[in-house]
Amino acid sequence: MDDVLNAADGVSAGVVARPDFGDFLNPVGVYHFECVRDGKVIWSENCPNTVTTEGKNAMLDKFLGLGAAYAAIAIGLHTTVGNASSTYATPSPQVESTAYSNGTRGVPSFSAASAGSKATSAAVAFSINGTATIAGAFMALGAAGVTTKSDTAATAILLSTGSFSGGSRSVISGDTLNVTYSLAL
């Protein structure tokens, strides 16, 4: 019987390379909530947000198109969860809560941007005037009317929407819901 032995060696090598590196602009924001009852914080939560497609397009148009800035900015509370395709004119499935006694939506003030991030300089306080379930918050940009509760003017922009990770939160009359926001690029 003849035995045949065929020996073979093999070597292979590969390199995965990226010919260039680039910056990728991915806006990431966070809403921070504190619910205060009788002077005590009864719950708090950070909610990463979705910067809507409408919001991203507005940033690009205003920055690269050198368009005029918006006249007003407002934070509102919502009772259902929004998503990236939500718009200001048709916020579905997002529904605004009116369970606060403030005459208008909250108007945030911002500190100067630093290290690619911009944050509110103080909390926007919502005085809750009834029992309600809150799913999160949203931020809108537009004309002065954007601060009006339940306004859905077609010319305004839904910048972002953030929802609680564990589901909706309950509030009762007399609570104060403090909301801050930060956005990083």
Distance, in Å, from the CA atom of 169 to the CA atom of 152, rounded to the nearest integer, reads 24
DSSP H or E run through 54? helix 53-64
Does residue 13 surpass a pLDDT of 80? no
Range ranked top by mean pLDDT from 92-96, 109-113, 142-146? 109-113
pLDDT tens for residues 14-44?
A: 555 555 555 566 888 999 999 999 999 999 9
- Please give the angle made by the CA atoms of 98, 46 and 161, to the nearest 5 degrees: 50
pLDDT tens for residues 54-69?
A: 888 888 888 888 777 8
DSSP H or E run through 46? strand 40-51
SS3 60: helix
